[in-house]
Structure formats: structure tokens, C-alpha cells
Chains A and B, each alone.
Chain A
Amino acid sequence: MTTAAALAPLERDLATTGNRAWRRFRRHRLALFGIVAIVLMVLASIVGPWLIPFDQLKIDIRHRFAPPPWGGHLFGTDQLGRDLLVRLLMAGRISLAIGFLAMIVSTAFGTLVGITAGYYGGAIRIVLMRFVDAMLCFPSIFLLLILAAFIQPSVTTITLIIAATSWMEVARVVEAQVRSLRERDFILAAEMIGAPGRYVMFRELLPNAIGPIVVAATLTVARAVLMEAYVSFLGYGIQAPMASWGNMLNNAQQYLGSAPWLAIFPGLMITLSVASFNFVGDGLRDALDARFDVK
């Protein structure tokens, strides 16, 4: 009861901050564009393949390398005569799913590490954050490729591998946030009334660090989509016949001269989705950043 009373003004604060944040976010047109693009891409990937009269796996040797928009193949066909658009949408399911899942796993793990390091401080913090620093010494693509080469690729393993190489930023952001929050009055108040460590960490600290976590998570989706594309492009990620935006580019390089659309469209999809998540992340950062309240 005492904590609830102590926290009431803070909650009121958060509510008005939320309102202002939303207004600023709407002003950010790129972020709005990003949200619309993401929703459209997700919807199209889910619903689209049912609406297109071509099967993603149907091989049609007579109509190989049909340029767009030949015979209803809006985006043309590939080297096996498969419709490129339906494959793009099917690939979108995989690529976006991996992006979202890797984000969830890496954000959860990074948050856990960051909050533990920030809350307990001392030796625990030093060990954990030094580990984060060490992980950041490796070019993440190197680690990613090596792990992918060691481990049998599947949607699950690729997701986990990407998550394993992208949780460090979140951990850093959360740790910094928690460390600064930790000294604030309401946390001290909660500790003084004897709230257990876990309660303080997840009920008091986590909600207050949610802004930076959301921003970092959004940017992690963008990163994960890029990573998946690259690993699959090199043949260590999602394996044929399953399509991902990355592995669709796998063969495109050798047909660059004759069928450039095979390279252009999947790349545009990757760029569009990654840019959308980056735009949203940037908009969220502006919206949630307290420094912008001054003016």
C-alpha cells in the first residue's frame, strides 16, 4: 500500500509522458511510413500467397526467366520458372518471422543480462558487462557465419544464432538505464520496505526501462532481417526449397546480366523492411527521449 501511494505520482507522470510521446511519434512521418509498410508486408506475406494463382514450388521449365510482368507473373519468374512474387511473399513469412523471433529472444536475453548487471552491480556487473564488451569485439557477421557453419541450419537454429549475436546492445542499454534508475527515490523506497530483489527488478526497474528496450528491440528486428538475408545468401542459412529473401539472392548473382529482376526484387524487399524497422525505431527514440521535452 505504501509503495502504491509512493508510486502514484510517477504513474501519472508516465501517463502524460506517453501522451506526449504518441503525439511526437505521429509527427514523425517516416516512422508512420515504416509502420504502414511493416503492416502491409506482414499482411501480404500471410494472405498474399493464397490470392496469387501460382504455387511457390511449381516448376515451369517452359517459362523460365520470364521478365516482369509476363503472362500474369507480375515480378517475372526465376531460373526454374517459378513465380517470383509468390516466392517473395512466402520468403517474407520466413524472413520476417526470423526477424521478429530473433528480436524476442535477443531482447529477452539482453534485458535479463542488463537488468541483472545493473541491479546487482559490483562483481556481477563487471563480469557480465566485460562479457558483453568481449562479444562486441567480434564482427557479428564472423561469429554468425561460423556458428551457422557449425550447426545444422533450420529456422529455429538460424533464429537462435542471430539472437546469440545481437543481444549485446540491448544488454548495454538496459544496464545503463537500470544503473541510473537504481539510485532514484522510488527504488530506494521499494527496497526500504523490504521488497525482494526480483520484485524490484521486474516490477519497478523493468517498466521504467521499457522505452529504451522498445527502441533497441525495433532496431534489432532490422538487424536480424539483414543478418538472415546475408547468411542465407551465402548458403549457410535457410535452405532450398524453403524461400527466404536472402537465399533467393543466392543464385541471382550468376543471372545478373540476363535476369536482373531476380536480384532486384528480393533486395528491395529486404531494404524496405529493414528501413521500415529503422524508421520506426528512430521515431520511437525521438518520441521516448526525454531530452526532446525541453523545447
Chain B
Amino acid sequence: MANFLLGRLLQSLVLLLIVSIIGFAVLHLAPGGPLSQFALVPGLSKEDLARIAHEMGLDRPLPVQYWEWLTRLVGGDWGRSYRDNQPVLAVIAGRLPATLELMGAAILISVFVGIWIGVMGAIRSYSLFDMLATVGAMVALSIPTFWFGLIVIYAFSVNLGWLPPGNRMTVGGDGSFLDYLHHLIAPALVLALVEVAIWSRYMRASMLDVINQDFIRTARAKGLPERTVLWHHALRNALLPMIALAGVEIPTLLGGALVTETVFTWPGMGRLLLDSLGYRDYPVIMGILMFSALLALLGNLLADIFAATADPRIRLT
């Protein structure tokens, strides 16, 4: 177990290094590179810019610059937003709760609904339910999330008036839990749509694989009721690969959250990225890019560790 952990940790660190190189490359892709944050400041002459470039070390060789940038990053200095001069990490931290709330709600929905649909589809494979679920999942994967959001707003906010068309809470409202929940329903459902489709597909395949295994026949031969056979014996095994899926799905979910946030004016990281793009706030943009990759890596690592602890077979190897 300790070896396994160490190996996975090392692997993640290597990935993190490559991720940082990609991030550094994208940063230098920006018109004017890291210097561009000063390009919009009025009253700076060419000489001033050259001086700043020298002070920032931009005239030094790229590997040296990369090293400096990386050490600053590791040290927690992610730069300052040039919009309000706040530290980038603080800006991101301010928006993180809203995004995590949205993602958490969507994960909850997609895990439960997706697993249920997948299991039912596997038990009754090739039934009408299974076929509808299969086609439904493929269509759900084809609907642009932002457009689905618009349609939901049109139907439930504009026409029916049941749900608020956006925001995390009523402006000037009492900020009660119910108010938050009311605002959360539509964006969480919209974000969950794609994830439900993905989870149900994987779950169906995994469950089908498991219910054809010998030990399921053994469980039936013991005379156990079908309910116990499926939900106690089959599901535990079928869920094991799903834990890894949860880790792999984090970038997709984060991307989906960004899309959903833009449509529902949800004050999370996605919204922050879009605002920063509009302001050309490169330090924040870079920060979000690196932070999202970090989140994905962390999620993957946690999923692997969790999967290892959930599977008794991995413990001894």
C-alpha cells in the first residue's frame, strides 16, 4: 500500500511538472507574453516596458524563466490580478465555493441517477428501458450544455416562472438555505445531464460485465434473493471501476461547470475565467488554468487511493 501510494504520488508529480510546462508555454503564447499585463496601463513608454521586462527577468533564457516561475508557483506566489491587484490565489479561492457547490450537486445527481439507470439497463439489457436509456444518453451527450441551459431558462424561468434564471442567491434576499437551493436546481440539473449520460453508460457496461461472472452464479446457487445478488454482490464489484471514473471525469465536469456558470451567471471559477478573458487579466487566466489541472490531478490521485482501499485485492500487492 505504501509503495503504491508513493508510486502514484511520484507519477502525479511528474504529470504536474509537464502540466506546468504546458502552462508556461501557453503563458508565453499570449500576445506580449507575461508582459502583456502592463500593455494596457496608460503612460508607459517603450523604455519603461523594457525596464519592467528586465526587472521581471524576461530577457533571460527561457529555462531560467521557467524555473523562476515554477518556484514562485510552488511557493504560492501566483501573481496578482491586474484588475484589482488581489493575489491570484485569493481571487480563485473567492470563487471556488460556488463552483464546488455546483459541481457537488451535479455529481450527487449524476452518481445516483446515472448508477441507477446503468444498473437497471444492465439487469434488463436490450429491454425497452435499456434502449431508451442508451439512445437518451447519446442524445444527452450531443446537446450543447449552454444551449440546454438556455432552453431550461426559457421553459422554467421565462415561461413558467418556477425557477430563477440565474445567480447563486436572490440579490438583497435573506440568503437562506432554501433560497440557495432554489437557485441551485436548474444549473445543477443542466450540468448533471452530460454526467448522468456518461455514468449510466459506464455503469451499464461494468454491471453487465459483473453479472456474467461466476461468483454471481454462486450467489444465486446459495439461494439468495435476486435483490441481494444484484445490490449486494454485483453492485459492489461493478462500482469499483466507477471510482476511477470519478477521478477521470473531473476535467470534464469542471469544463461543464464553466459552461453552465456562463449561462446561469453563476459566480464561480468559470464565470471568473470569462470575466478575466474579457479584461485580459492574464495572471488570473493562467492561475485558473493551472488550478484546474491541479484539481484534476488531485482528484485522480484521490480516486486511485480510494479505489485501492475499496478493493481488497489491491491491499496486499
A residues whose Cβ falls under 8 Å from a Cβ of B: 30, 130-131, 133-143, 145-147, 149-151, 222, 226, 229-230, 233-234, 236, 249, 252-253, 256-257, 260, 263-264, 266-267, 270-271, 274-275, 278-279, 282
Task: State how many angstroms separate the Cβ of B266 from the closest Cβ of chain A.
Answer: 14
A39 to chain B, nearest CB (A): 18
Residues on A with beta carbons closer than 8 Å to the beta carbon of B135: 30
Compute the total of residue contacts between A and B using a CB distance below 8 Å: 131
**For the complex, is B50 an interface residue (Cβ under 8 Å from A)?**
no
Residues on the B chain within 8 Å of A146, using CB: 26, 273, 277, 285, 289
Q: CB-CB < 8 A to A141: which residues of B?
A: 255, 258-259
State which of A135, A233, A249, A274 has its C-beta within 8 Å of the C-beta of B22: A135
CA distance A29 to B258 in the complex (A): 35
Tell me if B258 and A249 are in contact (CB < 8 A). no
Bound-state CA distance A274–B146 (Å) is 14
User: In the complex, what residues of B have CB within 8 A of residue A131's CB?
Assistant: 18
Tell me, in angstroms, the Cα distance from A233 to B263 when the chains sit together. Answer: 10
Chain A residues within 8 Å of B100, by CB: none
B14 near A: Cβ within 8 Å? yes
Q: Does B153 have its Cβ within 8 Å of any Cβ on chain A?
A: yes
With A138-B296, A256-B158, A271-B144: A143-B150 Cβ-Cβ less than 8 Å: no
Q: Which residues of A contact B251 (CB under 8 A)?
A: 136-140
B29 touches A150 (CB 8 A): yes
CB of B252 within 8 A of chain A? yes
State the Cβ distance, A176 to closest chain B Cβ, in Å: 16
- Pair A149/B277 contact, Cβ less than 8 Å: yes
Chain B contact surface mostly: helix
- Residue of B21, B145, B158, B293 contacting most chain A CB atoms (<10 Å): B293
Residues of B within 8 A of A143 (CB): 26, 289
Let me know if A278 and B258 touch, CB within 8 A: no
B88 on interface, CB distance cutoff 8 Å: no
Interface size on B, residues (CB 8 A): 46
User: Judging by beta carbons under 8 Å apart, are A142 and B144 in contact?
Assistant: no
- CA of A143 to CA of B26, assembled, Å: 9
- Whether the Cβ atoms of A274 and B144 lie closer than 8 Å is yes
In the complex, whether B254 has a CB less than 8 A from a CB of chain A is yes
The answer to whether the Cβ of B154 comes within 8 Å of any Cβ in the partner chain is: yes
Within 8 A of A (CB), among B100-152: 135, 138-139, 141-148, 150-151
Q: Bound complex: CA of A278 vs CA of B142, how far in Å? A: 7
**In the complex, A90 Cα to B262 Cα: how many Å?**
26
A199 to B30, CA, bound (A): 40
**A257 nearest CB neighbor, chain B only:** B158
* 25 sampled A-B residue pairs with Cβ under 8 A: A130-B18, A134-B21, A136-B296, A137-B251, A137-B296, A138-B289, A139-B254, A139-B292, A139-B296, A141-B258, A142-B254, A142-B258, A143-B26, A146-B273, A146-B277, A149-B280, A150-B26, A230-B144, A230-B145, A236-B277, A257-B158, A267-B144, A267-B147, A271-B144, A282-B138
The 0/1 profile, CB within 8 Å of A marked 1, for residues 144-181 of chain B is 11111011011000100000000000000000000000
Q: Are B151 and A275 in contact (CB under 8 A)?
A: no
Bound complex: CA of A233 vs CA of B274, how far in Å? Answer: 12
CA distance A267 to B155 in the complex (A): 15
Inter-chain contacts of B21 with A (CB < 8 A): 134
A226 contacts B151, C-beta separation under 8 Å: no
Whole-angstrom distance from the CB of B149 to the nearest CB of chain A? 9
B158 to chain A, nearest CB (A): 5
Question: A137-B15, A234-B274, A256-B150 are known contacts. Are A271 and B158 too (CB-CB below 8 A)?
Answer: no
B288 close to chain A: CB less than 8 A: yes
Interfacial chain B residues near A252, Cβ < 8 Å: 150
Alpha-carbon separation in the docked complex, A74 to B280 (Å): 41
